[in-house]
Chains A and B, each alone.
Chain A
Amino acid sequence: MLTVLAPGPLTTVQDRGRPAHAAIGVTRSGAADAPAAGLANRLVGNRPEAALLEVTAGGLRVRAARTVLVAVTGAPAPVEIDGRPAPFAAPTTLRAGSVLALGTPPRGLRSYVAVRGGIDVPPVLGSRSTDTLSGLGPPPPAAGTLLPVGSLAGDEPVVDVAPVGSPPDRPVLRVLPGPRRDWLAEAAWTALTTAEWRVGSDSDRVGLRLTGPRLDRARDGELPSEGIVPGAVQVPPDGAPVLFLADHPVTGGYPVLAVVLTADLPLAAQLRPGDAVRLRPA
């Protein structure tokens, strides 16, 4: 059992998400930076489906009720145990009664805290993830929330520390043309893939709002709603693109101009409000 002392700006429980329910209007959700979450699980010897904590912009403090093995990955937040520096991206023992604290990451947005055995909240439709758009899954932990630790662990981990890079200074996301490129003016694709974009302050797990040049429509009229994928870059009537992340709506009614490569979604998930980002053709 972990006791949350402080959740920071936003902490949610996440796993690999809730696939195969899109046809009834349920999005996949799951860890926004899936490779970082997977690494945290591997470092503590968890099974890949184990749930962990996704910590947004640091600030999490948890106390262990019994001695557990933990690992922190993703955005490189300073890690402390009982006020003393502790390693990042390494399996670390958190003794009974000790407090694990994450500072504010100097770069990146989402850190992952895995505990050996996994966070054992009740699954909803096969997943423990919180879908912030629909509200499915456990409510975000608050101060005082008790998080049970489960038994989704395999062999003891053998790795001491994982070599991880820091999120890049000048992030570039590779994009392919989307299904409705022809709904936007010819200049829109060029503008999307040459301008420097700024991540808006109203960005969240649903998507990044990008500010920059206005992307104009080539045609009027309403597009009937159609399926959305993570990485889809949709252009609403105001001309400011939205790049969808893990909690994207299942369908949307604005044209999708471009789609970010799956391999670059973790990078997108680590962008913070105010960050500059470029998109370039894959």
Chain B
Amino acid sequence: MFGNHDPVQRNGTGVRVLPYGDRALLVEVDGPDAVAGVRRALELAPLPGQRELVPAARTVLVVLDRPPADLDVAALRRLRPADTAPTGTAPLVTVPVVFDGPDLADVARLSGGSVPDVVAELTGVELTVAFSGFAPGFGYLTGVPPDLHVPRRVTPRTRVPAGAVALAGPYAGVYPRSSPGGWQLVGRTDAVLFDVHRDPPALLAPGARVRFREGG
């Protein structure tokens, strides 16, 4: 297992395999599309003893029930990212949003447009849940128009209310519950993002397509 502790192993397809202790490997690719492809490929053809996949911005963590072996590294390096669900077949989730967030004017200013422009842009695109994290049911949504890629707030808020719709970097997200947060708040929704009594519990699970619709 990583006798040479080679930190980076790369193949021709841009898939890198990094060591991650005695129960996991980290697969690094170039972006969210490749992450989705790697995740799909490993769902279709899991490694022996594969226990869990944790997709993130540029990586998929592959958790095993045993120590990783050289064979696993080789298999992951050979991995061809699978076609992810073509548009139209993944579930589409429509989230009703009231666009009255405290940072909406700042976001408009940063984007060089008006508040109605921002709302039109955010409701006019189809977003995709790239991965989850931060809190149960918090999905990182990709597909945000580039002029709305805004920095985090310099000073995070100590309390962001549940249902707040927010932007940061290339992502949009909806806070599943009240928590501290540094994203720019543009609106709010009544949709329940996470409910342990629902199956599936997360409204926005990786792979889902999302549209914001203006209105309560």
**A226 contacts B58, CB within 8 Å?**
yes
| Beta-carbon contacts under 8 Å, A227-282 to B | 227-229, 231-232, 249-251, 256, 259-262, 282
Please encode chain B, from 68 to 95, with 1 for each CB lying within 8 Å of some chain A CB and 0 for all others.
Answer: 0000000000000000000000000000
Residue of A nearest to B67 (CB): A262
Bound-complex Cα distance A25 to B177 (A): 13
**B56 contacts A226, CB within 8 Å?**
yes
A181 within 8 A of B: yes
Chain A binding site: helix, strand, loop or mixed by DSSP? loop
Residues of B contacting A125 with CB < 8 Å? 196, 201
Residue of B nearest to A178 (CB): B20
Among candidates B2, B5, B58, B63, residue contacting A224 with C-beta atoms closer than 8 Å? B58
Contact A229:B132 (CB < 8 A) given known A19-B52, A24-B137: no
Residues of B contacting A231 with CB < 8 Å? 21
Bound-complex Cα distance A213 to B58 (A): 31
Contact A20:B135 (CB < 8 A) given known A176-B22, A226-B61: no
Bound-complex Cα distance A183 to B15 (A): 19
Please encode chain B, from 201 to 216, with 1 for each CB lying within 8 Å of some chain A CB and 0 for all others.
Answer: 1100110000000000
Bound-complex Cα distance A259 to B61 (A): 14
Bound-complex Cα distance A73 to B61 (A): 33
Q: For B20, B58, B201, which residue has the most chain A Cβ atoms within 10 angstroms?
A: B20
**B59 contacts A226, CB within 8 Å?**
yes
Among candidates B7, B61, B202, residue contacting A229 with C-beta atoms closer than 8 Å? B61
Q: For B58, B135, B136, which residue has the most chain A Cβ atoms within 10 angstroms?
A: B136
Residue of A nearest to B6 (CB): A177
**A227 contacts B21, CB within 8 Å?**
no
Please encode chain B, from 105 to 143, with 1 for each CB lying within 8 Å of some chain A CB and 0 for all others.
Answer: 000000000000000000000000001111111100000
Bound-complex Cα distance A21 to B56 (A): 14
Residue of A nearest to B25 (CB): A179
Contact A24:B132 (CB < 8 A) given known A176-B2, A182-B7, A225-B56: yes
| Beta-carbon contacts under 8 Å, B15-59 to A | 18-24, 26, 28, 51-59
**A259 contacts B20, CB within 8 Å?**
yes
**A24 contacts B201, CB within 8 Å?**
yes
Please encode chain A, from 152 to 178, with 1 for each CB lying within 8 Å of some chain B CB and 0 for all others.
Answer: 000000000000000000000000111
B200 within 8 A of A: yes
Contact A25:B18 (CB < 8 A) given known A176-B2, A250-B54, A262-B23: no
A151 within 8 A of B: no
Bound-complex Cα distance A259 to B8 (A): 16
Bound-complex Cα distance A97 to B108 (A): 66
Residue of B nearest to A131 (CB): B136
Bound-complex Cα distance A250 to B52 (A): 12
A50 within 8 A of B: no
Bound-complex Cα distance A177 to B19 (A): 7
Given contacts A26-B201, A226-B59, 11 further A-B contacts (CB under 8 A): A23-B52, A23-B132, A177-B19, A179-B7, A179-B18, A180-B18, A225-B133, A227-B24, A227-B59, A227-B60, A261-B22
What are 28 contact pairs spanning A and B, CB under 8 A? Answer: A19-B52, A21-B136, A25-B132, A25-B134, A25-B136, A26-B201, A124-B196, A125-B196, A176-B2, A176-B22, A177-B5, A177-B19, A178-B20, A179-B18, A179-B20, A179-B28, A182-B7, A182-B8, A224-B59, A225-B133, A226-B58, A227-B26, A227-B54, A227-B60, A229-B63, A249-B134, A251-B131, A256-B20
